[in-house]
């Protein structure tokens, strides 16, 4: 079984992004029963989703987990829904500040994740890490790449 796990480069005032660190660590690991491909996505309105689509096409994964950072949260938040909205609270890493725009003008209002979110939350908690279910990832890049992923995958093969 092939997994793809993505994270993001640092953004805003941060010099690190924990999702990038997790992805970099996973890239050095080997597993007996499955393989993990990784990608660190740029925090950029167009380049981030493009790099994700490229990684999906190149790796042909069975499952994809997109990691991100939400500063200040006290638990791993497992998102349920990606909404068709770009409404950046801060500019991306190339200066784009997008507000009140749809991700896909003709796309549905939202997509539900296809991952077993409650089981994921329970598995994370079982190893002693605080975890919670979250309705959405907001309207920044985490939400955007998830929405675009659910919009085109698995039709990308």
Q: Where along the chain do its domains lie? A: 2-152
| Closest alpha carbon to 47 in 114, 141, 120 | 141
137: its two tokens? 């990832």
CATH annotation of 2-152:
3.40.630.20
| Closest alpha carbon to 117 in 93, 87, 149, 81 | 81
Q: How many CB atoms lie within 10 A of CB 49?
A: 22
Q: How far apart are CA 124 and CA 39, in angstroms?
A: 22
Q: Look up the pTM and report it.
A: 0.92
Pairing of strands 63-66, 76-83: unpaired
Q: How many CB atoms lie within 10 A of CB 130?
A: 11
Residues of the chain where predicted confidence (pLDDT) is lower than 70:
154-157
Q: What is the pLDDT of residue 154?
A: 66
Are 117 and 133 in contact by the 8 Å Cβ rule? The answer is yes
Q: What is the pLDDT of residue 157?
A: 44
């Amino acid at each position: 079984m092939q997994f793809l796990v993505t994270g993001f480069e640092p953004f805003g005032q941060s010099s690190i992004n924990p999702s990038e660190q997790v992805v970099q660590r996973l890239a050095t690991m080997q597993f007996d029963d499955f393989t993990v491909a990784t990608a660190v996505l740029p925090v950029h309105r167009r380049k981030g989703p493009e790099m994700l689509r490229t990684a999906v096409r190149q790796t042909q994964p069975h499952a994809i987990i997109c990691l991100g950072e939400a500063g200040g949260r006290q638990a791993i938040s497992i998102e349920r829904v990606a909404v068709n909205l770009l409404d950046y609270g801060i500019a991306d890493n190339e200066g784009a500040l997008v507000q009140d725009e749809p991700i896909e003008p003709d796309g549905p209002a939202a997509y539900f994740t296809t991952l077993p979110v409650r089981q994921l939350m329970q598995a994370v908690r079982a190893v002693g890490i605080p975890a919670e279910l979250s309705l959405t990832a907001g309207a920044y890049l985490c939400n955007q790449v998830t929405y675009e992923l659910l919009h085109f995958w698995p039709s990308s093969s």
